[in-house]
Amino acid sequence: MGPLLEVKELVKNFHEGGALIRAVNEVSLEIYPGETVGLVGESGCGKTTTARCILRLTEPTAGHIYFDGADLTRLSSQEMRAQRRHLQMVFQDPDTSLNPRFTIRRTLAEPLQLHGLASGKGLEERLRETMVRVNLDPNYLDRYPHQLSGGQKQRVGIARAIITEPQFVALDEPTSSLDMSIRIHIIGLLKRLQEELGMTYLFISHDLSAVRNLCNRVLVMYLGRIVEAGPVEEIFDSPLHYYTQALLSAIPIPDPRLRRQRILLAGEPPSLLDLPQGCVFHERCPDAEPFCHRELPRLYDAGDHHLVACHRWAKR
């Protein structure tokens, strides 16, 4: 079976005060039906911009995005509107993504009405069924967002994304604004919904424990580029890129008797306004060699579907 989503050499540049910001640089990825792919990295590395470009909420500068065989970058606005029932997004902050003037009923009804999926009694049944599916009381349909807790609002955001029964959902830090107990419930909910509806996820998160629990594969992003990719167990148990090793070293260990040596990266990430030549990580890498300063590494195959953008792997 081929990929449901295939992204080829995606580029997104922004212009700010005459300066060029290279937010996403030649990102390529594949996501297969029914799987969950994690996208991780520091804030500002381009994760959210990548997801927004995939859904064409932000227009890409270059590259191609193939969804179920169709090149989304070539579709007109009207054609793209028809595709949106199949591609949805759950945003990081429900306080900004939910219209405070809309009741929950109106928020959930809008995508169904927009795509002509339900009306009348069928619409009401679909609304109530979806509320139950995300563990919310259907009586909350006539409430406004400010009358709900943070966890309840995020469940509404999830309900809005799944109510059209999409094939693909981008989850942008869906648990970052919630406390730990609510995070656990939301991750469990997302897993159950995926099993029930057969959806495919792109899961963006700083919570690496949630990534390990939810994802099949992981992509590690640094300064707008994928620097490592592979099955979740491969990435977590045998990280190859020094940046990935540093990220994973920061995961808290539940047992206080155990200690993990923390890897602290030197310096700060370079500015997106002035990216270095060669490997984008060479200024912070303790193993950088002279040619790392000159040549940009491609993603090398390290075996077992594990890819790493590091020149050292070209010598093996």
Hey, what domains does the chain have and what are their CATH numbers?
A: 5-86+164-315 (3.40.50.300)
pLDDT (tens digit per residue) in 228-255? 999 999 999 999 999 999 999 877 665 5
Out of 161-165, 241-245, 311-315, least confident range: 311-315
Measured CA to CA, the distance from residue 177 to residue 183 in angstroms comes to 9
Judged by DSSP in three states, 207 sits in coil
pLDDT (tens digit per residue) in 61-89? 999 999 999 999 999 999 999 999 999 99
pLDDT (tens digit per residue) in 252-263? 665 555 565 777
Q: Where residue 270 falls among pLDDT bands split at 50, 70, 90?
A: confident
- Closest alpha carbon to 14 in 61, 68, 56, 53: 61
Is 65 exposed, middle or buried (CB count within 10 Å of its CB: 0-12, 13-18, 19+)? buried
* Mean pLDDT (whole number) for 185-211: 95
Judged by DSSP in three states, 166 sits in coil
Looking at the predicted structure, is the pLDDT value of residue 7 above 60? yes
Is 256 exposed, middle or buried (CB count within 10 Å of its CB: 0-12, 13-18, 19+)? exposed
Most confident of 4-8, 250-254, 290-294: 4-8
Looking at the predicted structure, is the pLDDT value of residue 11 above 60? yes
Out of 191-195, 248-252, 298-302, least confident range: 248-252
Judged by DSSP in three states, 37 sits in strand
Looking at the predicted structure, is the pLDDT value of residue 313 above 80? no
Exposure string (b/e) for 148-185, b if CB count within 10 Å is 16 or more? beebbbbbbbbbbbbbbebbbbbbbbbbebbeeebbee
List the Cα angle 116/120/122 in 5-degree steps: 75
pLDDT at residue 253, rounded to an integer: 62
Measured CA to CA, the distance from residue 82 to residue 109 in angstroms comes to 17
pLDDT at residue 256, rounded to an integer: 55
pLDDT at residue 254, rounded to an integer: 58
Judged by DSSP in three states, 176 sits in coil
* Mean pLDDT (whole number) for 29-58: 96
Q: Where residue 155 falls among pLDDT bands split at 50, 70, 90?
A: very high
